[in-house]
Chain A
Amino acid sequence: MSTPPAGPSLVYAYAATPPAPALDHVLPALTGVAGRPVDLLALTDAGHGPAAAFAVSDVPRSEWDEEALKVRFEDLDWLEETARAHHRVIEGLAAHTTVLPLRLATLYADRASALAALRHHGQALATGLARLSAHTEYGVKLYVRPAAAADPGATPPPAAGAAASKPGAGRAYLEARRAQQHARDDHYAQARTAAERIAALAAPHTADHVRHPAQSGPLTASGAGENVLNDAYLVPDAAAEAFREAVHSAVRGLSGVRLELTGPWAPYSFAAPPPPPTAAAP
């Protein structure tokens, strides 16, 4: 058990895990949010109870209560640091056991309160853990390469000043523009092909799939092309190699497309239970 921070504290919960003894040597190596140590909070009366525990840190109340969070959540630097710390803990745990990631900044007044939540949600958490056991999330992103950069063979548009005076310069310019436009269209068509191939070749190796919005905000602007696909797949560990190979093979020969395969991730995108089958609408 870690020493609580000076002054009143709160309990920050990162994730639910099975109360595995395997984590005993992992936890001391982890550093949580606000640089705090991480430990496991499990029900002691677990004789017949559900098998779930929380990975937690004690954090200073003055910095994590409603008032403080209201302000700090607006601070993107703080948010980045906290999000990365949260992620680091979850990732550290996920390397050794199944984790059910909790939403950032899940906080309890004290350990007794966190245990009460654990008792209350224990069954659902255990069910979720069982569903995600031996599964890993991978991200699959496709980018369309900018036409000019990806087409070294295409005629570069003539330099404006030098070309303008020569006869035929206008036509050359238009032809270059047309070639560029053609290459661009071609790259989008390649991206569509890649997405179809992923659905055909890679998806069969997976247990679940979600589509995230394509990324193109300031956080992701990199000049590496336009993100047109941002998917997450839940992959059984036994199929991980086949999945990765299938994803890579889907973009083979498609020079206008850039693939970014991210992960292994803890199953963030699949933590929420799947929606119950609803009665068919009339």
Chain B
Amino acid sequence: MTDPMARSFGSRPAMAGYPPSSSASLADILERVLDKGIVIAGDIRINLLDIELLTIKLRILIASVDKAKEMGIDWWEHDPALSSRGREEALAAENRRLRAELEEMRRAPLPPDRALPDTALPEAAPDEAERPVRRTGKRRPPP
């Protein structure tokens, strides 16, 4: 507890009455209450995908943005919840699509000894492989 006052979110007046680690940084608390702690199935099932999205979001808030960028994760820059330059519609549509897919996968009765049914995997797209390479680059006139 070197410098509690310097922590972001850590020095709200409303928290003043609580013992020191209640004023712990929000990042430290979220890191623990969302990502740690024992998971026991409750009756309220929060959509798995929502939570995964949330966890990704929080990881990005908490962990290094640079690292996320390195990994090619940059959609939060377009996320209305995290940024004002939102691509809301596209994200919401993608969200709906993924959610529907997940629902479908969840509903499919899976034999316990098998992973995802074959239908869940996209078939190899032959036209993708045979598509001729398009040359779009304009040839520069010789000097």
Residues of A within 8 A of B (CB): 10, 13, 16, 64-66, 69-70, 73-74, 76, 79-80, 83-84, 86-88, 91, 95, 100-109, 113, 117, 121, 125, 128, 139, 212-222, 224, 258-265, 268-269, 271-272
- Knowing A65-B44, A66-B44, A214-B64, the reply to whether A87 touches B29 (Cβ < 8 A) is yes
- Knowing A84-B15, A222-B7, the reply to whether A102 touches B37 (Cβ < 8 A) is yes
- Knowing A10-B44, A217-B27, A262-B1, the reply to whether A103 touches B33 (Cβ < 8 A) is yes
Residues of B within 8 A of A (CB): 1-3, 6-9, 15, 18-19, 21-22, 24-34, 36-47, 50-51, 54, 59-66, 81
Alpha-carbon separation in the docked complex, A215 to B67 (Å): 11
- Knowing A66-B46, A84-B29, A107-B44, the reply to whether A101 touches B51 (Cβ < 8 A) is no
Alpha-carbon separation in the docked complex, A201 to B140 (Å): 66
Q: Name the CB-closest residue of B to A84.
A: B29
Alpha-carbon separation in the docked complex, A193 to B28 (Å): 24
Q: Name the CB-closest residue of B to A106.
A: B42
**Residue picked from B42, B46, B51, B59, most chain A C-beta under 10 Å:** B42
Chain B residues, Cβ within 8 Å of A106 = 39-40, 42
Q: Which of A76, A86, A103, A218 contacts B81 (CB 8 A)?
A: A76
Q: Are A113 and B43 interface neighbours, CB within 8 A?
A: yes
Q: How far is the CB of B91 from chain A (nearest CB, A)?
A: 12
Can you name 20 A-B residue pairings with CB atoms under 8 Å?
A10-B43, A73-B46, A73-B50, A74-B50, A80-B26, A83-B29, A84-B15, A87-B32, A88-B22, A91-B22, A104-B33, A107-B43, A113-B43, A117-B40, A121-B40, A139-B28, A213-B63, A220-B8, A221-B8, A268-B33
Q: Are A259 and B2 interface neighbours, CB within 8 A?
A: yes
Q: How far is the CB of B93 from chain A (nearest CB, A)?
A: 16
Task: Known pairs A216-B64, A220-B27; list 5 more (Cβ under 8 Å).
Answer: A74-B54, A80-B26, A84-B26, A102-B39, A259-B2
**Residue picked from A80, A104, A265, most chain B C-beta under 10 Å:** A104
Q: Are A102 and B46 interface neighbours, CB within 8 A?
A: no
4 residue pairs, one from A and one from B, having the closest CB atoms: A268-B32, A107-B44, A268-B36, A101-B37
Q: Are B6 and A224 interface neighbours, CB within 8 A?
A: yes
Q: Are A70 and B50 interface neighbours, CB within 8 A?
A: yes
Alpha-carbon separation in the docked complex, A262 to B22 (Å): 11
Q: Name the CB-closest residue of B to A139.
A: B28
Chain B residues, Cβ within 8 Å of A212 = 31
Chain A residues, Cβ within 8 Å of B54 = 73-74
Chain A residues, Cβ within 8 Å of B46 = 66, 69-70, 73, 105
Q: Are A83 and B42 interface neighbours, CB within 8 A?
A: no
- Knowing A91-B19, A100-B38, the reply to whether A214 touches B63 (Cβ < 8 A) is yes
Chain A residues, Cβ within 8 Å of B47 = 66, 70
Q: Are B42 and A272 interface neighbours, CB within 8 A?
A: no
- Knowing A103-B33, A218-B61, A260-B2, the reply to whether A74 touches B81 (Cβ < 8 A) is yes
- Knowing A107-B43, A117-B40, A272-B38, the reply to whether A217 touches B8 (Cβ < 8 A) is no
Q: Are A222 and B8 interface neighbours, CB within 8 A?
A: yes
Alpha-carbon separation in the docked complex, A265 to B20 (Å): 10
Q: Are B65 and A108 interface neighbours, CB within 8 A?
A: no
Q: Which of A79, A105, A220 contacts B62 (CB 8 A)?
A: A220
Q: How far is the CB of A267 from chain B (nearest CB, A)?
A: 9
**Residue picked from A76, A80, A103, most chain B C-beta under 10 Å:** A103
Chain B residues, Cβ within 8 Å of A121 = 40
Q: Are A108 and B42 interface neighbours, CB within 8 A?
A: yes
Chain B residues, Cβ within 8 Å of A88 = 18, 22
Q: Name the CB-closest residue of B to A64.
A: B44
Q: How far is the CB of A274 from chain B (nearest CB, A)?
A: 12
